[in-house]
Amino acid sequence: MTAISILPKSTLVSAILCIAFAGIARAQSLVPTVSNVAYGSHPLETLDYYAAPSGSGPAPVLIEMHAGGWAGGFKSFFPLYGGLIEKAHSRGIAIVSINYPLAPMDIFPASPNSCRRAVQFVRSMAATWNLDPNRIATIGCSSGAHLAMWVGAAADAQDLGSPDPVKHFSSRVQAVVSYEGPSDLTDDYYKYSSAVGHGFTSPVWQFAGCPNEPAWDALPDTIKNNMSPRWHVLQGNPPAVNQSLRYLGIFKSVGAANQSGQLPAPSADIHDLLQGLLFREALESVGSPESTVWAGPNTYIPGVGLVASEMAADWLSTHLASTPAYNYGDGTPGCFGTQFLGINSVPFAGNSNFELRSYNGWPGSLGILLASDSPIAPSTDTFGIGLLMTIDLSHTLLALDMPVDAAGRGIAALPLPRNAGLTGYTFYFQALHVWTDPAIPQPCTPSPYLLSSTAGLALTIQ
């Protein structure tokens, strides 16, 4: 019999979103190419494979690990991602969604080890399914995000001497997308206290095989460390192992904190923004080339899902295409959360297709992109209207229209001239957005003049 847990409110919401639909017929916008493929011997080690749209060459792969508090949920339930999976697929990325062993029948490390095996299995099928084994990302929400990060950060499960041919393949991935995933479950950053329900079975306890808080307290630190993706980055592996791992964390937040030291340690909420900042900083400390936390309005909206899906799909297509990403900003002056300033292609002299994007503007609204050769302190209220600037307007070189499309993206085409003199030159950009209706819920709190801005972006021409 499956245990029924009483969860903290935030955890309960995520669990309901992913478990409540179990057994109910549901429409999916994507149809699996192959369903219920066994990738291991456990009854729950099965996956669905969605071939990428037709194109030339092997396709990159996104492996989805479902939510459900490590104790429930199911593969191929994509509405939670608000269209991200479908958008990533439309950009030429193959999708794999997996089931894995569930607590309390199978406790840590059963599910993360199964997820690691799923990556190995997908690599073993690369030739059959026309996949690129060198372009694999994992993604998940809540507990699924924890598993996605754990697979990304943990040691390689490859065993060339094993009689099992699947184990001959690497379990390492190139990128991780985490929707509110916990990265550190040690007592320093996770503690289920009496203030939020002493005596109830926390999903983290259940994942670890602990029936109550005293059992969790008695659990050796070695196990809590091993459960924590952050520990694998900082202490579990040599730094070189995770230097190339790229990470995008997406969190709901009511503040624009972008450093872990700006936030208190949470008492119980495994979805706290702190969990993302800790993982980003761990990766940065070992030299990760692209580690980003985006915080803003990613609450679940019926029929819409998590509203950061357009940005995350662009991030995935950029990274799985092996295209360098440059300073995806994680702080937005004037906003309670953050917007995301990204790059669609490599900024080299002569790239006529180069463009810059900002995210979470109001669909159909106006925007402007400013370029300067000089930054300023990001706390400067240049106009005295509550709008913080990051570039020096007296050194403005360029102003471009940045209209916001139906997906909330502000897009500014910026063709780069074929001029060798531009190589090595650094420009600074900032996007400003106009909010035309103050009654509409907004991802940013604009100035009294209904203006908001992205964080600054420093960009060096190659």
The tens digit of pLDDT for each residue in 92-128 reads: 999 999 999 999 999 999 999 999 999 999 999 999 9
The whole-number pLDDT of residue 245 equals: 95
- What is the CATH number for 114? 3.40.50.1820
My answer on whether 304 and 385 are in the same domain is no
The whole-number pLDDT of residue 297 equals: 56
Mean pLDDT value across residues 33-46: 98
Whether residue 13 is contained in a domain is answered as yes
The whole-number pLDDT of residue 342 equals: 53
My answer on whether 137 and 209 are in the same domain is yes
396 pLDDT higher than 60: yes
Two structure tokens written together for 118 = 């799923």
Which of 256, 289, 320 finishes a domain?
320
- Residues 360/339, Cβ–Cβ less than 8 Å: yes
Whether residue 231 is contained in a domain is answered as yes
The whole-number pLDDT of residue 16 equals: 34
The whole-number pLDDT of residue 307 equals: 57
Under the banding of pLDDT at 50, 70 and 90, the label for residue 4 is: very low
The whole-number pLDDT of residue 238 equals: 95
My answer on whether 288 and 416 are in the same domain is no
The whole-number pLDDT of residue 112 equals: 98
- The span from the CA of 200 to the CA of 196, in Å, is 9
Whether residue 123 is contained in a domain is answered as yes
Q: Which residues pair with 404 in a beta bridge?
A: 410
Express the helix, strand and coil content of the chain in percent, nearest 5 each: 25, 20, 50
Mean pLDDT value across residues 20-47: 77
Under the banding of pLDDT at 50, 70 and 90, the label for residue 139 is: very high
When the pLDDT of each residue in the chain is averaged and rounded to a whole number, the result is 81
The whole-number pLDDT of residue 392 equals: 87
Under the banding of pLDDT at 50, 70 and 90, the label for residue 19 is: very low
Under the banding of pLDDT at 50, 70 and 90, the label for residue 200 is: low
Under the banding of pLDDT at 50, 70 and 90, the label for residue 14 is: very low
DSSP letters along 84-150, please?
Answer: HHHHHHHTT-EEEEE----TTTS-TTHHHHHHHHHHHHHHHTHHHHTEEEEEEEEEEETHHHHHHHH
Whether residue 22 is contained in a domain is answered as yes
The whole-number pLDDT of residue 195 equals: 45
My answer on whether 312 and 345 are in the same domain is no
The tens digit of pLDDT for each residue in 401-450 reads: 988 877 777 888 888 889 888 898 888 888 887 776 655 555 555 666 77
Please state the domain count of the chain. 2
360 pLDDT higher than 80: no
Mean pLDDT value across residues 26-31: 67
SS3 388: coil
């924590």: which residue's tokens?
228
My answer on whether 346 and 314 are in the same domain is no
Whether residue 135 is contained in a domain is answered as yes
Whether residue 275 is contained in a domain is answered as yes
Full domain range(s) for residue 382: 341-460
My answer on whether 136 and 172 are in the same domain is yes
Mean pLDDT value across residues 192-200: 51
281 pLDDT higher than 70: yes
My answer on whether 226 and 159 are in the same domain is yes
List phi, psi (to 5°) of 341.
Answer: -105, 115
- The span from the CA of 205 to the CA of 197, in Å, is 13
- What is the CATH number for 394? 2.60.40
Whether residue 1 is contained in a domain is answered as no
My answer on whether 305 and 407 are in the same domain is no
My answer on whether 361 and 222 are in the same domain is no
Q: What is the dihedral angle through the alpha carbons of 113, 115, 120, 122, rounded to the nearest 10 degrees?
A: 160
Residue with the larger pLDDT of the pair 429 and 240: 240
Which of 320, 349, 368 finishes a domain?
320
The tens digit of pLDDT for each residue in 156-193 reads: 999 999 999 999 999 999 999 999 999 999 999 987 75
Two structure tokens written together for 285 = 């400390």
My answer on whether 145 and 213 are in the same domain is yes
Whether residue 3 is contained in a domain is answered as no
Two structure tokens written together for 40 = 């291991």
77 pLDDT higher than 70: yes
My answer on whether 363 and 261 are in the same domain is no
My answer on whether 369 and 448 are in the same domain is yes
Two structure tokens written together for 3 = 């245990």
The whole-number pLDDT of residue 150 equals: 98
